[in-house]
Amino acid sequence: MSSDIILNMKLRKSQKQIFGTALILVAVFGGYFILRTWSLKLPNDFLIYRQNTADVSEKIVALANEVNEKIKAVNISDLNGEDEKAVALILDARGKNIATYSQAFELSKNLENLARSLDDISSRRTQRLAYEAVAVELSLVSEFIVYTRDLNNFLDSLSHAIVTGESRDREMAQKFLDDVNKQVSKINSLNKEFAEKTKEFNPL
pLDDT of residue 200: 60
Q: How many independent structural domains does the chain possess?
A: 1
Q: How far apart are CA 92 and CA 112, in angstroms?
A: 31
Taking only the tens place, the pLDDT of each residue in 81-138 is 899 999 999 999 999 999 989 988 888 888 888 888 888 777 787 778 778 878 888 8
44-48, 113-117, 167-171, 199-203: segment of lowest average pLDDT: 199-203
DSSP 159: H
Read off the pTM: 0.76
DSSP 8-state class, residue 204: -
Question: What stretches of 28-123 show up as alpha helix (H) in DSSP?
Answer: 44-79, 83-117
Full residue range of the structural domain in which residue 99 is found: 3-200
Q: How far, in Å, are 20, 49, 113, 123, 202 from residue 63 at the CA level? A: 16, 21, 23, 37, 32
Q: Is residue 30 pLDDT above 90, yes or no?
A: no
